[in-house]
Every structure is written in structure tokens, then in C-alpha cells.
């Protein structure tokens, strides 16, 4: 997710605002210290402009 976020030119704080997911949670997810719930993945995917399947290795 971090690579996609950076390609979109988006900081963690900006993604947090766009997605409604806390910046701390985004950091933990990107560091691999937290596994996001499905609802969190949907919010992040929508904010980043991809399908949820993107996070499971499928191309958008």
C-alpha cells in the first residue's frame, strides 16, 4: 500500500483525511504490524482509486 500511496503523491496524513482511517492505523498497516479489517481496506481502496483486490496482489 505504501508504494501505491507514494505513487499517488499522497502522505499518510492525506490518505487518513481521504479515507477516514487514522494516520496511526495507516502507519501500522504499512509497517505490517496491523492487519486491516475489510471495511478499512474498502475505505483505503476507495481513497487510493483501486479495487480491494489490489491489496491481495491482483492488478487494478
Cα separation, 39 vs 8, in Å, equals 21
**Residue among 7, 58, 2 nearest 30 (CA):** 2
In a domain, 45, yes or no: yes
pLDDT score at 57? 85
Q: What is the domain range of residue 19? A: 2-51
Amino acid 60: pLDDT:
43
pLDDT per residue over 4-60, tens digit each? 999 999 999 999 999 999 999 999 999 999 999 999 999 999 999 999 999 988 654
Number of structural domains found in the chain: 1
Neighbours of 26 (CB within 10 A): 24
Report the pLDDT value the prediction gives residue 58, as an integer from 0 to 100: 60
* CATH number, position 32: 1.10.260.40
For residue 22, being part of any structural domain is answered with yes
User: Burial of 57 by CB count in 10 Å (0-12 exposed, 13-18 middle, 19+ buried)?
Assistant: exposed
Amino acid at each position: 500500500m505504501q508504494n501505491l500511496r507514494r505513487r499517488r503523491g499522497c502522505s499518510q496524513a492525506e490518505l487518513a483525511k481521504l479515507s477516514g482511517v487514522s494516520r496511526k492505523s495507516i502507519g501500522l498497516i504499512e509497517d505490517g504490524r496491523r492487519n486491516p479489517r475489510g471495511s478499512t481496506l474498502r475505505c483505503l481502496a476507495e481513497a487510493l482509486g483501486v479495487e480491494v483486490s489490489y491489496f491481495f496482489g491482483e492488478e487494478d
